[in-house]
Chains A and B, each alone.
Chain A
C-alpha cells in the first residue's frame, strides 16, 4: 500500500541554519515525488517535484530509492520559509496523489 511518512510535526531552526525536512514513502510501483508548501493564509501549492530536478527558493530534494526517502533541504533557512510542508507521491500517470501529514517549519530570527 502507498504511504507517505513525515516523522516531524514541527521543526524549529534559526535563520541562516541548514534545514532538512524528512519524508519517507512506500509504494509498490515507481513513484513520482513532490513537495507542497502552505504559507500562512495561502493555499497549498507545489514547491518542487522530483522529475524536474530543480531548486526552488533554495530548496532541493533528492530521491533515494534505496532508503525510500525524499528529504527536502535548504542550506540557509530564511524567516519567509516558515510554513507547512507536505511531501506527496503519485504514480507515473499522475492520477492519484498521496500526502504525508505535514511538517511545520518555524524559522526563528
Chain B
C-alpha cells in the first residue's frame, strides 16, 4: 500500500492497559510526526523524528512514548492513559525539502 498507513484504525483501552499505535510509510520521507486531534481543537504536534532521531517533544506526558526504529516506521506506545487522552492520533511524514506533510487516516483512541 502506498502513502502513510496507520494501525489500528480504532482502539479502545482501559486506563491500566499498554498498547501501541503503528505508522508506516514507504515514500522515502526523512521526517515523521505524531499529531493529536481532539474535538474542536487545533491539531497538536506531539513528536517529530528526522532521520530516526527525535527532534521535538512538545511537552508530551511520559505516558506517551514514541519509537522510530527506522525511517519508515514510527510507533506510539501508550501506558496508563487518561480518559482525556481519547482522540484521533495522526501520523504524518514529510520529505522535508518540500514542506508538504502526508497524513495517515489516523487511529481513533478511546480510553475508558
**Complex interface bits, B89-110 against A, C-beta within 8 A gives 1, otherwise 0:** 0100010111111111110000
Asked if A43 meets B101 with Cβ closer than 8 Å, knowing A86-B43, A98-B45, A101-B41, the reply is no
- B35: chain A residues at CB < 8 Å are 99
- Measured CB to CB, the closest approach of chain A to B98, in angstroms, equals 8
Number of residue pairs A-B, CB distance < 8 angstroms: 52
B40 touches A32 (CB 8 A): no
> How many interface residues does chain B have, given as a range?
20 to 34
A94 touches B40 (CB 8 A): no
Docked Cα-Cα span, A51 to B100, in Å, equals 11
Docked Cα-Cα span, A100 to B4, in Å, equals 22
Q: Among the listed A36, A44, A101, which residue makes an inter-chain contact with B40, where contact means beta carbons less than 8 Å apart?
A: A101
Query: Which B21-37 residues sit within 8 Å CB-CB of chain A?
Result: 31, 33, 35
Interface centre among B40, B94, B99 (most CB of A within 10 A): B99
Task: Tell me if B42 counts as interface (CB < 8 A to partner A).
Answer: yes
Q: Among the listed B40, B97, B99, B106, which residue makes an inter-chain contact with A90, where contact means beta carbons less than 8 Å apart?
A: B99
Docked Cα-Cα span, A44 to B48, in Å, equals 18
- A43: chain B residues at CB < 8 Å are 4, 103-106
The residue of chain A having its C-beta at the shortest distance from the C-beta of B103 within the complex is: A44
A95 touches B97 (CB 8 A): no
Query: Which A35-54 residues sit within 8 Å CB-CB of chain B?
Result: 36, 43-46, 49, 51
Task: Tell me if A70 counts as interface (CB < 8 A to partner B).
Answer: no
- Measured CB to CB, the closest approach of chain B to A104, in angstroms, equals 11
Chain B residues near A (Cβ < 8 Å): 4, 31, 33, 35, 40-43, 45, 48, 50, 55-56, 90, 94, 96-106
